[in-house]
A and B are shown apart, each in its own frame.
Chain A
Amino acid sequence: MPKLKLPLPPGLKPPPERPSENGHGEDRSALKQAGVSAVDWIDERTALSGGARWLMFRKIPRGTNWFYTLGSATLFAFLSQTITGVFLAMYYDPNATRAYESIRHLTNEVFLGEFVRGMHKWGSTVMVILIFLHMGRTFFFGAYKYPREMNWVIGVALLILTLFMSFTGYLLPFDQRSYWATIVGVAINGTGPLVGPYLSDFMRAGPEFGATTLPRFYSIHMLLLPGLIVSLIAAHLYLVARQGTTAPPWLRADKDPDLRRDET
């Protein structure tokens, strides 16, 4: 067993060794030794291992099942969107006269361009579906109840931000479908009473679809919304780690034997 301190639950940990002792790790390769000492070097200066253990080795209730993986699945869908999106941005040109051509070049000529763009495009749908499944799990398992109401609220905010992501991302390929879907989407937004017309002008940066509309959508899609989503995900995960997960509703809480005796 390596001396690595971080990810081992208490039961698996080897007995502590003194750093000065020479006898340890004769069978250990020098490489392993170097890795362990590098991690130790960082941990000595940051004390991250406590936080990492707090985050990773939590107690989970009996009855935890596959439905509990939907949140992580959503997180990984978001990570996939982030990674593919960063590299797609290297080829994209958010200019009304050149956007379509840059997408065509990416799709038809760049090595694996079509594949990565496809992952981003279909991944966005997957992410929305996973969010709703995750939300359904939370709802039907009653996991939104006290003390987890705030995490439900953060989750709803994340859902709305994700739908904004879908809306702003839909324009970017800048083909006929994107363009007209955005015209329609902005018009739907404009039917909101009193503020709708002004919000539409804000989204288009003017009364008509203009030269700055596409960069505006692009900036919101790849800078503003991801920043908000990342920070809200951090808050979401912090609360999950702090409050723990709920047991499925079909399991009754184990009662203390003393209490059970009192009841009879």
Chain B
Amino acid sequence: MPADPKNSKPKKSTAEAGIPGAFEGETVTRRRFMTGTAHGAGAVAVTAFTLPALAIGVAPVFEKHDQPWQALGPPEDFDDKSYVAKTFTATAGIGEVGKSTVYVRKYNEQIDSEQRDEYNAYIAISTRCMHLGCPVRYVAASELFICPCHGGAYDKEGKVSDGPPVRPLDRFYTRVQDGLVEIGPRFSLNSEMRRFSPRDPGQPIDGLGQYIYPARPTVRKLPGT
């Protein structure tokens, strides 16, 4: 603008700029208005199909999944010395793929450092290794949970005794209902056996870890535990 002294002030309206057929008080040329409208309509159309499509892709991140209580067997199946492996449905609707294994025993004061409460009359330990998620198995001879992938090992309480895992094995809430032992939702533990909302393998939750790896909207521990 300063380069052209005759046109130093920008025109406020089309009438001022001398455009033929200008309306009173019109500030945008009709060509400019039509261009803007066409581009705007295109942007609205693209947004109208892109946003809902993205939404159905991202929605599962915000949907809460409730793990229903499911029966594992009568209390006589379990003792407080060693673990019994039981199969349960971790994900419904996908047949064999959704099945998983849980190791269960009775609460034992000599083994368990945590306080007894309504959800741990039976200790149900998840087989998901807390290094990267391979399935651990309990070896009765050495009293260790051992992971086949990278050599993670856990003691009888599920605490890390060797290898790369970052926290104790996850557990499930348990209760006895209608004469059957049932397991409910999964929860995670830090190294002091405090309960946390379930985290994925590889995420330490001691100290800052619980904030660096926050709980997700999809799974929560039971309130008040």
Contact = CB atoms under 8 A, between A and B. Distances in A.
B201 interface: yes
A207 B212 contact: no
B93 interface: yes
Given A191-B203, A197-B200, A206 B213 contact: no
A121 to B, nearest CB: 22
Interface string B45-74: 000000000000110110101000000000
Nearest to B63: A206
B216 A187 contact: no
B200 A186 contact: yes
Contacts of B202: 187-188, 190-191
Contacts of A202: 57-58, 60-61
Contacts, number: 87
A201 B218 contact: yes
A212 B60 contact: yes
A190 B203 contact: yes
A97 B212 CA distance: 36
A196 interface: yes
Interface stretch (A2-10, A177-185, A232-240): A177-185
10 closest A-B pairs by CB: A190-B200, A96-B94, A205-B60, A207-B218, A187-B133, A207-B219, A187-B201, A191-B202, A183-B133, A184-B132
Interface of A: 96-97, 179-180, 183-184, 186-188, 190-191, 193-194, 196-198, 200-202, 204-212
10 contacts: A96-B95, A183-B132, A186-B133, A188-B202, A190-B203, A191-B203, A207-B218, A208-B91, A209-B91, A210-B93
